[in-house]
Amino acid sequence: MRVCCFILLYVCSVASAGDKEAEEDGNRKRIIEQLIRTRTVLLDDYHLVTRQIATDVYMFRSYRTVSVIFYPVMRGVTDARFTFQSEELHLNNIGSCSPQEVIVNIKHGAYPAVNPDGYDFPKGFVDPATRVSIHTLELLSDGLNRTYSIKNPRPGNWYALAYIKWEDPRTQKVEQQGLVADCQTILYTDLQVKRENNIELIDCYNGITLDYSQIPALFKCMSIDSTDPIALNITILKAGSATTEIAFKVQALSLPTEENYLVSCAFDPTADNFQTVTFYPHPSAWHYIQFDHFNDTSKIADCESYYLQTDVEEVNNNTVFDLMRDDKGRFFTFDYGLPTTDLQDATSLINITSGEIKSVRFKVNQFLDIGGSLAIEASLLMSIKYYMGFKRELQKGSLLAFTEDNQYFKAVICLDIGHASIPLDTGHCKYNDQVKPALFVLNSTDSDTIHDKTIIPFPDSGTWYLTLKLFCDKTVCPCRTFDNGTKYYVESDSIDKDGEVYSTDLGNNTRQGTSECNSTVVLSVSSTSCVGGRCSNHGNCLLNTFGGLVMSYCSCSAGYGSWDCSDDSRMDSRLYMLVSILLLTLSNLLFIFSIYVALIRLYYTEAMMYAFTMVFSTFYHACDAPAQVAYCMVRGNILQFGDFYCGLMSFWVTLLAMSIVGDKFRSSIQLIGAIVIALLTTWNMHSFVAFLLPVAVGVGVLLLSWYLDYRRTRIMRYPRSYYTIYMPLGLILVSVGLICYAFLQTEQNYKIVHSIWHMIIALSVVFLLPDVRRSEGLNPFVPNPNSCKLPFCRVFNRSQPIAAD
C-alpha cells in the first residue's frame, strides 16, 4: 500500500512539472523587475531616447545566438551616451553563477558584421576596414554600469550586437541540466542623447555673413540633389578686432569632429575677411558648418587652398542615373539595374567614354534590406577577338597577337554611401580631402582583372553611389609591341610567324596610346540572404528575428565555419570522424552481454529493453555524426527520443527486477513507469530531473520491498554472494558511469567518455540482476543446461558426456 502511495505521489509530481516551469518564469520576471527598479539615471541636459530592460545574452555560436538592440538617434546630437549593465540571474539553488564576459558591437546603419569566432571573411568580401567603423565594448555581467559615448553621432538607426565572448566549444564542458547552476545572462541598456539647439539655419548657396564676436558659431543648411560642388562664400564682419585665426569645418549629416569632416581649414580674417571654400556635398542632405577660434595653424590646411578645385570641371561632367529596383518577393532578395522592360535580367550596360564620369545610385532601405548580403559585379565588355586571343592556348610558345583595332584601357569604379567620389587614374577615389582605394579597377590588358566581384554583408541603409571613369591605355598599358607599334602581344618566350621564331625582347618599343577611348561596363547589383542565397553546401541559410528585426545567417554543419560555411580549417579529418562514430556505436555492442545474462536468468522483459536500448543508441549516434559519415535510418529526433527513453526504461526495469515484489505488481508498475518516463522524455529529455525521478522512485521501491521482506522473514532473500560481490561491483560501475556522464564530458572528449558510459552501464546490468529465478548452485553467467536442447548447449552440462561428431 505504501508503494502505491509513493507511486501516486511521483505521478503527481510529474504532472505538476509544467506548473513548476511556469512558476520559474514568474519568479524570473519578478527578479528582473526588482533588478531594474532603480537602474535609469538621467543626466542633466540629456534626453532619454530608448531603453531595453532585460535582453537575454548567449554565448556566440553564430548569428543565431546574438541579441540585437536598436537605437534611434535624431539630428543635431552632440553626445550619444550608451549605458550597459549586465547581470547573472541564478534560476535554481545549485552552485553559483560566475560573471561572464559580454561583448557589445555598435554600428550605424546596419548590423555589425563581425567574426567573434575567429574565422576569416570569405574571399571576395569587402574589407571591413573600408566600411563604417564598429564600436566595441567589453563588460562583465557583474551588475556594474558601463557607459560608452559617441561624440556627434550620425543621425539614423544604430544597431548593437550583444553576446558572451566566444569560447571554443571543443574545450567546453558538457553540463547536465539539474546538476549545475542554471544561469542566464541579461543585459540592461539605455541611450541618452544631448542635443545642440543653437544651430542657425542658412542657405548653403547664398553664403554666410558672420560677426567675429559671434564665434564660435554653428550653422546648418540643406544641399540640393546634385553632386556638383558648393562654393561657400564666407564674410567676417569686424575682422579688425580678431585676435585669433578662424577654424572652419563642414560635415554632412552630423556635427563635425576632430576626425570626421568634409573640409577642415583655417584662415586669418585680418588678412582677408572674405573667403570662398569649395567642397563636395552629400546630395539632399543636411550639412553642419562650424566656426571656432584657432591658434595653432601648423597642422591644418589654409582655407585659400579650397578656393578652386582642380577637378571641378570633371565633377561638372558627372551624370547620375537612378537604378530600378527589381524585387523578388523574398527576404533580402532583389536586384538593381537601369530601368528596363526585360523581366528576366536587371543587369546594367553602361556606355562610358574617357573624360566623363558616370554615377549610378540605388537605395538600401532601413530594416527591410540590411539583413542580407549585397553583391556587386562589374566587367568590361570586350570584343570576341579579344577573348579569343587572350584565351588561346600556347602554340610553339606563342599567343595570338592583338591588332591596333583594339583599345586598351582601365575603368576605375568607386563605391560610396551618401555621396559620389571622383575616380583617379591611380586606382583610388577622392572625395574632398579623403582618398581611399577604389572598389574595382578593371584593366583590359589583364584577363584576371577584366571582371571583379565583391560581397558586402549586412549593407548599410542609405543611398549608395557607384561612380565610373575610363582611363585610356597611355597610362595603363605596360605591353610589348611589334611591327612599329601596330601589334600587341601577351608575354611569351617566342612568337611564331611564317615558320620563324622571333624573340619578344624588342627593346623599349611601346604601343602608341590613345587620348580618347570608350567602352561598356557591365554592372550587376543584387542582394540575397546569406551569401548568394546559400551556404556553400555545408550549412543552411536561416533567418533570425529580434522584435521585428530580421537578419539572415548561415548555420554550418559538419565542422565547417565562416560566413558561408566554406572554412574547413577546424574540421576533423575523415579518419577521426570515422573512429569517433565507431566508438560511439560499437561500444553499445556490450549490451549483447547484458541481453545474454538477462535471458539465461529468465528476465525476458528486461532483455528486450536492453536490446531496444542497444539498437536505438547505436543508430542514434550513427545519425548524430558529422554529415560526411552520418547514417540515418529515420529522422534524428525519433532516434534521439528512442535512445533517451529506452535508456531510462533500462534503469527502471533493472531496479524493479532487483526488488522483491510479485510478478503482477511488477508488471503494473512497469507499465506505469513506461507512461511516466515517456512524458518526462517528451517534456525535457536533457534534464537531469527526467533521469533522477525514475531512478529515485525505482530505488525507493527497491529499498522498501527489501525492508518489508526482511521484516517479514528475517532473512536476506538473495544469495550472500550477491550482496557481497556482485551488487557492490554493479554499484561501483554505475557510480563511475554516472560520474563520467555528468561531470567529465567535454565536447573534445565526448566520443571517448560517452563510449565508456555505454560500456560501463552495459556491464553493470550483468552484476545487478539477481539470479534467483533459477535453481540454486548454478553459475550466474552460465545458462541452465536443461533449458537448452540444442547440441552446442551440452557444453554447459558437465554431468553428461559430450557427443562425438
List pLDDT tens digits, range 196-205. Answer: 888 999 998 8
Residue 35's pLDDT is: 57
Was domain 574-773 assigned CATH 3.30.420?
A: no
Residue 367 CB contacts under 8 Å (≥ 6 apart), including other chains: 157, 461, 548, 549
pLDDT at 313 over 70: no
Mean pLDDT of 710-739: 88
Nearest to 52 by CA among 130, 158, 173: 158
d(CA 649, CA 671): 10
Helix (H) or strand (E) holding 610: helix 604-623
Is pLDDT larger for residue 786 or for residue 577?
577
**pLDDT tens string 116-147:** 988 888 888 987 777 888 999 999 998 888 99
Report pLDDT digits (tens) over 8-31. Answer: 444 444 444 444 556 556 655 655
Query: What pLDDT is recorded for position 314?
Result: 53
**pLDDT of 662 over the 60 cut:** yes
Please report which confidence band the pLDDT of residue 787 belongs to, taking 50, 70 and 90 as the band edges: low
Look at residue 7 in the predicted model and tell me its pLDDT: 43
The residue assigned the cell 575610363 is: 470
Q: Give domain limits for the chain.
A: 41-195, 200-309, 319-477+514-528, 530-570, 574-773
Same fold flag, 41-195 and 574-773: no
Instruction: Compute the average pLDDT of residues 793-805.
Output: 49
329: exposed, middle or buried (C-beta count within 10 Å: 0-12, 13-18, 19+)? exposed
Per-residue pLDDT, 776: 67
Q: Kindly calculate the radius of gyration of the chain based on its CA atoms and give it in whole angstroms.
A: 39
The pLDDT of residue 391 is 41
Reported as a pLDDT band with limits 50, 70 and 90, residue 296 is confident
Rank 4-8, 342-346, 724-728 by mean pLDDT and report only the highest: 724-728
DSSP E strands, 152-229: 156-164, 183-195, 200-201, 208-211, 217-222
Residue 775's pLDDT is what?
Answer: 67
| 551 CA to centre of own chain | 10
Highest mean pLDDT among 690-704, 738-752, 788-802: 690-704
Q: Per-residue pLDDT averaged across 686-694, rounded?
A: 80
Correct CATH for 41-195 of 2.30.110.10, 3.30.420.40, 1.10.150.240, 2.60.120.680: 2.60.120.680
Residue 792 near residue 785 (C-beta atoms within 8 A) = no
Average pLDDT, integer, range 636-662: 91
- Sheet strands (E) in 371-447: 373-380, 402-403, 409-417, 422-423, 428-431, 434-437, 440-443
Which cell is 129 given? 576596414
Tens digits of residue pLDDT in 347-406: 889 999 888 899 999 999 988 999 999 999 999 887 665 555 444 333 334 433 444 445
| Among the four given CATH numbers 3.40.50, 2.60.120, 2.60.40, 2.30.30, the one describing domain 319-477+514-528 | 2.60.120
Per-residue pLDDT at 692: 82
pLDDT per position as a tens digit, 222-278: 999 988 899 999 998 888 777 888 999 999 999 999 888 999 999 888 888 888 999
- pTM to 2 decimals? 0.79
Instruction: Tell me what the pLDDT averaged over the chain comes to.
Output: 81
